Chains A and B, each alone.
Chain A
Amino acid sequence: MAFLELSKVRKQFSNVAAPAVQDFNLSVERGEFVSFLGPSGCGKTTTLRMIAGFEHPTVGKIVINGKEVTGVAANKRKIGMVFQSYALFPNMTVADNIGFGLRVAKRPKAEIEPRVQEMLKLIHLEDKAKRYPAQLSGGQQQRVALARALAIKPELLLLDEPLSALDAKIRVSLRNEIRAIQRQTGVTAIYVTHDQEEAMSLSDRIVVMSEGRMEQVGTPFEIYNFPQTQFVASFVGTLNRMQARVADPSAGALEVEGQPLTAARAVEANRGETIAIALRPEMIHLAKGTEGVEMNHLNGAVEETTFLGSIVRTRVRLRDSVISFDTFNNPNLALPQRGEMLSVVFPREAILLLKGPSAAQESAV
């Protein structure tokens, strides 16, 4: 049995018509690191707060370690939580902040002090024990918040966009530190973020959410390479999306603005229907004229060329659709000029067949 289970969870706020979260089903194994990824307002934080006990589901149940906690108060759940704004207690020193959970649990001093020391060591802030939070940098404060959450030895750690208030450089180093500490302590972690790179680099699995629904659940590899819905495709990575007409479903034959394409597998749609497809930019190349027949070709006019140093980004317009792809810089080659007619090639596997915007299914491609 999974360590954390949410089944059919739904949250409806009384002042908003649309549910904040609906039909949320998820099983998380012990020790797993799972991210909720999505734009703001997609319900990821609400779901996290329901796990923490700050909100209560309208429908559905939440089970942690075999015990249902749906109606249990937040202060009885023994879950660690790290907040976006750190939420350190300003009137307490770093050490007092870290020891707070043990203090309110009335643990003896002899237990609290070594535990606090251990935590300070874990976050490499042994010398800051007597400081007040306001005397620390943002990154240090968030490490203290992490230590405070872990000091009570929670079995589940919730992180609500813990890095979004920090600047880019610290974000990356602290991200690695969080993952290392999570591995070291073996705590099960749920991580909320709107940053796909963060989610990709940290997680065992990612739950992509949109408008209160789960769009797709999978490993970072699956989410990136095989997005199942238009939303995931648009939110994760930099896919080229376009509309295609189905020419022959069983052969995977498609047509984009009159130009034929062939997908690597059969299309689950009827002849003549229009479906959404996506092209992965890293598999698109400029045609050299030597490609085999199994490659797809698309012709268009160069709309814009952007020189980005090591790479060159080219946008080619077909008629309504635009394909953007990157090529490595090569000083011996001239840059494509605006208006120049080009042919791009890509293998059949580069074509992703997307489902409708709201379809959320967990099946792998």
Chain B
Amino acid sequence: MAQAALAPSAKPNPLVARFAGVPLAWIGLLPFFIFALMFLILPSLSLFTGSFTDAQGNFTFQNILDLSREDIVDAYMLSIQISVVTAIIGGLFGFFIAYALVMTGVPSALRTSLVTFCGVASNFAGVPLAFAFVAALGRTGYITAVLRDTIGYDIYDHGFNLYSFLGLSLTYLYFQFPLMVLVMMPALEGLRREWREASENLGATGIQYWRYIALPILTPSILGTMILLFGNAFGAYATAYALTGGRLQLVSIQIGAQIRGDVLHNPGLGYAMGFGMVVIMALSILAYTWLQRRAERWLQ
């Protein structure tokens, strides 16, 4: 490197020395902290305070208690269900594909194109994704038509509906499993060949290798990524709204309706719903962090 002549030294930097004793170095982070405060922390906090404020501006717990209203609980349950289902199915499917790409003799050209495709798909969400699915699997969609015209099977006659739980899950899976593939591939590549050989050498079968070594090593990443997928689906609004309009009463959709026009007839309850959503997201991130720590425990 060009700067090799100037080795890093422990000597204090002249600028730091000048500021010594005065925490002026903080100033450098001021723009970032102000931005974060204004556009990330204060807006979230305002929802938090709003959750505990009634229409007259007094403190109340009523909004939080009202979250137990049947329609609201149903919305949370539906959101959680679709997130759990797509996280688990997307996670497992993504894991098998990552495994296939890393561990089996799939041609490398196929491998590269699929990985790039996964990068695109995991970012291809929202309105365009919803419309692609409508054009493909909607009542007049391409795949629907092909199935009907070739094998005479009309999926809509057999109970399929794109604008349903199943349809939305299929759509979410389009960005869920590619994300899993992208995260799991490096994890699988991190399994060293020597571990497998050492275990074979000590008499372990392939199944024992997976049971005692590979899976324990991978479990934190598998579960951690599934939690990311959960949050990914739980917070999603655009895809669900563009695909189903208001037909599926997810939490995010209800909050959207509340922003449009106070459908709950209680702004405070709307804020409480948003707050509840953040709590669930925060819990899932906490679980994720805990799993990451667990994974790193071996590496310290």
Contact = CB atoms under 8 A, between A and B. Distances in A.
A101 interface: yes
B223 interface: no
A226 interface: no
B112 interface: no
Contacts, number: 83
A83 B197 CA distance: 9
Nearest to A52: B201
B205 A89 contact: no
B289 interface: no
Interface stretch (B37-45, B156-164, B211-219): B211-219
Given A90-B217, A90-B299, A74 B194 contact: no
B200 A75 contact: yes
Interface in B184-210: 192, 194-195, 197-205, 208
Interface residues of B, number: 21
B200 A134 contact: no
A81 B198 contact: yes
A104 B212 contact: yes
Nearest to B299: A134
B204 A87 contact: no
B298 A132 contact: yes
A313 interface: no
Given A75-B204, A78-B203, A100-B212, A87 B198 contact: yes
A103 B201 CA distance: 13
- Which of B198, B213, B298 has its CB near the most chain A CB atoms (within 10 A)? B198
Contact of B195 (A54, A76, A81, A89): A89
A91 B213 contact: yes
Please indicate which of the listed interface residues B197, B205, B217 has the most CB atoms of chain A within 10 Å of its own CB. Answer: B197
A104 B203 contact: yes
B150 interface: no
A87 B217 CA distance: 14
Contacts of B201: 52, 74-75, 77, 79-81, 149
Contact of A87 (B194, B203, B216, B299): B194
A104 B208 contact: yes
A81 B197 contact: yes
Contacts of B69: none
A105 interface: yes
A290 B299 CA distance: 68
Given A87-B192, A90-B299, A132-B297, A54 B203 contact: no
A88 B299 CA distance: 12
Contacts of A80: 201-202
A189 to B, nearest CB: 15
Given A90-B299, A135-B300, A85 B202 contact: no
Contact of B203 (A52, A75, A132): A75
Interface in A52-75: 52-54, 73-75
Contacts of A135: 300
B224 to A, nearest CB: 15
Contacts of B202: 75, 80, 100-101, 104, 148-149, 152
Interface in B208-261: 208, 212-213, 216-217
Interface of B: 192, 194-195, 197-205, 208, 212-213, 216-217, 297-300
Given A53-B200, A81-B198, A104-B204, 5 more contacts: A52-B197, A73-B200, A85-B192, A91-B298, A152-B202
Interface of A: 52-54, 73-81, 83, 85-92, 100-101, 103-105, 132-135, 145, 148-149, 152
5 contacts: A75-B204, A80-B202, A83-B198, A101-B204, A149-B202
Interchain residue pairs A-B with the least CB separation, the first 9:
A87-B194, A101-B202, A104-B204, A87-B198, A74-B200, A75-B200, A90-B298, A91-B216, A81-B201
